[in-house]
Amino acid sequence: MEEPKLQALRISASWHVEWNHFYEVDPSKETIIYLDSSSLLHLTNYALMRAINLDFRPENDLNGHFYLRVINLTEVINKKGNKIYEGDWENLYFEFKSKNRLEIVIEIERLLIEIPPFKSKLSPKK
């Protein structure tokens, strides 16, 4: 089998691609190896304080589904005095499940345009 291409996505300039293992493949015996990552895609927007994460669950399972989540971010200072961003995976802004890859693409692209900023009560005052 020829190596599949990464899934084309329209991503605006304010989003950072942290990693991308989201290929133009639908689950099949031949393609399931491309759906074995615990996280297929992770995008971050520090201005909005949001992250978008895509998994395939269960991994390597033809009966699995794509699982799309939007995570709220909080800015914190670590022990070394560096600014880092923590995701609140317990209180998601949005989640969506589908077996259809193209539905996921549409939803990702919609979120990239429409998602509002997250205002944390814990964020430092500026």
SS3 state at 2: coil
User: Per-residue pLDDT tens for 54-89?
Assistant: 999 998 899 999 999 999 999 998 888 888 999 999
* pLDDT at res. 125: 45
Domain extent for 101 = 16-114
How many structural domains compose the chain? 1
Q: Give the chain's mean pLDDT.
A: 92
Q: Is position 125 within any domain?
A: no
Q: Is position 91 within any domain?
A: yes
Q: Is position 79 within any domain?
A: yes
**Residues 6 or more apart from 103 whose CB is under 8 A from it?**
none
User: What are the b/e assignments for 84-104, b being 16+ CB within 10 Å?
Assistant: eeebeeeeebeebeeeebeeb
User: Per-residue pLDDT tens for 84-124?
Assistant: 999 999 999 999 999 999 999 999 999 999 999 998 765 45
Q: Is position 98 within any domain?
A: yes
Q: Is position 72 within any domain?
A: yes
Q: Is position 121 within any domain?
A: no
